[in-house]
Amino acid sequence: MNIIPSFDLLDGQLVRLRQGDFDQKTVYPADPFELAQQLEESGIRRLHMVDLDGARSGVPSNLKILEKVAARTRLEIDYGGGLRSIPALKQVWDAGAALFSVGSVAVLAQDEFGAWVEKFGPDKFLVGADVRDRKVAVHGWREQTEVALFDFIRQMHALGIRQISVTDIERDGELSGPAIDLYKDIILHFPDIELVASGGIRDVADLEELTTMGCDGAIVGKAFFEGQIPLQYFRISTKV
């Protein structure tokens, strides 16, 4: 399983939001580039980069950090936040992203998203589904839709998308454990997608359980930044 640290960027700083609330943020003092180098040295191969400024403004806003990390490490970076047009996607691609991380557009504007997929290819997208009670939320979790998660996954599957991250909103930033039953159900119904777990991961035991059950990846944020998943674990786990 691919362990994918999450860099949530706000004003150039690494932060974590509680359940997506900008008023409930924790700022971490680490320099994003230096930390990315340490992760690469520990064996990490991939990085999830969330442009929170871009999510609010509608345009990518942390491209200098993306450029620096992409140019000076070999990390595969999936980048999200502010991706609302093909020019924005091109900006992020030119800055060094390997994958586009998208959510709301894929839910609310599937014709437009389909054009993106046709232009760049389905293998260039990590589609994120943020869910409450198995229904998808959009716009930074602020708006709840009636779109059922499994219907959404089927729609993405029809477009050729294979990498899908699923976040249980109620668990994100809570260190309450991942949505194990939900992920088991997704894997049972969609065995050929590459499922990336996100939200609630609190320790090494959670990562090992997600590996055993067949998740292809796990995005880790708060547990890593607060030392509950030590950097040394990445060094050990990536050699197994």
In tens, the pLDDT along 184-217 reads 999 999 999 999 999 999 999 999 999 999 999 9
Residue 56 has pLDDT above 90, yes or no: no
89-97: long-range contacts, CB 8 A cutoff, minimum separation 24: 89/116, 89/120, 91/60, 91/63, 92/60, 92/63, 92/66, 93/120, 95/60, 95/63, 95/66, 95/67, 95/70, 96/66, 96/67, 96/69, 96/70, 96/71, 97/49, 97/66, 97/70
The CATH number of the domain holding residue 142 is: 3.20.20.70
Instruction: Give the residue numbers annotated as catalytic, written as ranges.
Output: 8, 130
Residue 74 domain boundaries: 2-237
* pLDDT value of residue 103: 92
pTM: 0.92
Number of H helices, E strands in the chain: 11, 12
User: For the chain, what is the domain count?
Assistant: 1
